[in-house]
Amino acid sequence: MGFHRWLLFKDVKGEDVVKLTLALKIARQDLTKAQLKLNAMVADYGDVVPRRDFESLEKKHSDLLQEMKTLQKDFNQLHTEYETLLEIHRETAEERDNFCAELQRVQHNRTPRPNWAKCSEVIPGGAERWGYLAEGKTSDQLVDVLLEEIGTGVLKEINVFPGWGKGDKVPVYLRHEGEVKNKKLTKKDVVNILRDVWKEKIALEQQTGKRSCLPEFFLGYLQKKYGDAAAVEWSYTLYENMRLCPSSHVLSSFYNILTGKVGEEQYHGQNQLISSLQEELAACDSSNSGSLSSKQFSMAVREAFPLKRKESIQELVDASRYNMDSTEDLVDYISLFKEDEEGNVEPFVAKLRDQYVREKQDYLRQLKNKLGDLTEVNADDLKTAFCTIDPDIDDQTLDTYIGLVYQIQTEEPDHEAVPVETVLERLLAGDVRRVGPSPREGSTKESKDTSKY
């Protein structure tokens, strides 16, 4: 029994050794292959990431790219605004330096403010009349008032005027040889006559459809009303009164047009602006009470003058409250347009006219800057400059302005060059206004020019 068990154990053991040796050999071969394959896979795919990680990174990249584009857009906008602010700062600094220089010059040349109350001692009517004349006026305007009072006082003492002669250079309404009697009119009389002249002239032009020349019409009006012999006396008397009374808009405007200093269109243009505002105010007054709240009044003025700056609108609002209680909210807009017997207007209308002139000067200053260093300009260049500073200008208005400069009535203007200074003077004398908003408005301010334009 023991012998058989030993034989069986020997057979099994011998068989296991062979198998194990073979299995070991095969296992070593498989290990070598696996190692080679592993090395190849490590070499080929060592830098590869899982798809899950790839998709996560790709989404994060897309989000960061979109964020970068947004930030770049914001940066570009900020850079543009920064450049604009730099330009505004430069112009503001230049403007500040100019104001500082002007302030130093004024401080150096200033004189003590005169005691204007002394004028009441020599003005007819005393302190009461002088207070009325001086109310709301600057020192420069008070000088004009004082000169006007002196001039009209002397005028009342003159019995005759020396005739200007009958030369071609003498205005048609003053052509006379010898002395001319002074009719010694009051300012009220002069205002009434000149208003009637305008009334008759406008009525005639509406009837005929043609614009008549004011000097010839003025003479014809006087001849028709007072006769040929007496017309020259009225003409000289009215002329001298107009010349000595620049504070009255009725007299000064008629005088400036009569002497050719400004065009008649300017007079009608200002009246049109005032009429348009009156209509706008009346349209806002649904109850026809003649009064508007301060807010309604301000909105109506802004509607009537959409191109005016906020500062100008505020000036008009302040002028409308000149004689009002600071706590009162209603504006009696009808009284703002009243004139007294001598043609004196309320501060509101005076401010409107001042702004009309100031805005025209600003407009022409922009035109001058656009023309640059040119000393002469032809019609095409002038049209280009107008269209650049006022893109909304229409062809009819543009032709009107070109006609003012080149003094022609045809549809095709002459292209001869005209000195820039002459261009600006002729435009300043006419009814020239901005048609649309300035292309630079809201970005940078126009550099201020110290010239009269």
Q: What are phi and psi of 169, to 5 degrees?
A: -80, -10
Contact 362, 354 (CB under 8 A): no
pLDDT tens-digit readout, 381-406: 999 999 999 999 999 999 999 999 98
Give strand ranges (E) for 163-207: 179-181
Which of 45-49, 65-69, 233-237, 330-334 shows the lowest mean pLDDT across its residues? 45-49
The model's pLDDT over 187-224, given as tens digits with 9 standing for 90+, comes to 999 999 999 999 999 999 999 988 889 999 999 999 99
CB 247 within 8 Å of CB 145: yes
Please check whether residue 211 is in contact with residue 205, taking contact to mean a CB–CB distance below 8 angstroms.
yes
Instruction: Reply yes or no on whether the pLDDT at 243 is more than 70.
Output: yes
- pLDDT at residue 218, as a whole number: 96
Q: How confident is the model at residue 14 (pLDDT cuts 50, 70, 90)?
A: low
Task: At 288, give phi and psi (nearest 5°).
Answer: 55, 40
| More confidently predicted of 135 and 185 | 185
Residue 447 has pLDDT above 60, yes or no: no
Question: What confidence category does residue 359 fall into, taking pLDDT thresholds of 50, 70 and 90?
Answer: very high
User: Does 383 or 1 have the greater pLDDT score?
Assistant: 383
Which of 116-120, 180-184, 354-358 is predicted with the least confidence, judged by mean pLDDT?
Answer: 116-120
Average per-residue pLDDT for the chain? 85
User: Which one is predicted more confidently, 81 or 141?
Assistant: 81
Query: What average pLDDT does this structure show over 217-233?
Result: 94
**pLDDT higher for 411 or 60?**
60
**What's the chain's Rg over C-alpha atoms?**
44
Predicted confidence at residue 325, as pLDDT, reads 64
pLDDT in the model for residue 264: 92
Q: What is the pLDDT of residues 368-385, one digit of tens each?
A: 999 988 899 998 999 999
313 has a pLDDT exceeding 90: yes
Mean pLDDT of 306-321: 91
Residues 6+ apart with CB under 8 A from 216: 172
CA distance 256 to 273: 19
pLDDT for position 6: 46
Q: Is the pLDDT score of 174 beyond 90?
A: yes
Number of helices and strands in the chain (H, E): 15, 6
Give pLDDT, residue 445. Answer: 39
Which of 9-18, 48-57, 133-142, 296-305 bottoms out in mean pLDDT, i.e. has the lowest?
A: 9-18
Name the band, by pLDDT with cuts 50, 70 and 90, for residue 7: very low
Higher-pLDDT residue of 139 and 309 is 309
Question: Per residue in 253-271, pLDDT tens?
Answer: 999 999 999 999 999 999 9
Per-position b or e across 307-337, b if 16+ CB within 10 A of its CB = ebeeebbebbbebbbeeeeeeeeebbbeebb
3-state secondary structure labels for all residues of 426-448: HHHHCCCCCCCCCCCCCCCCCCC
Position 177 confidence tier, pLDDT thresholds 50, 70, 90: very high
pLDDT on residue 440: 60
Q: What is the pLDDT of residue 408?
A: 60
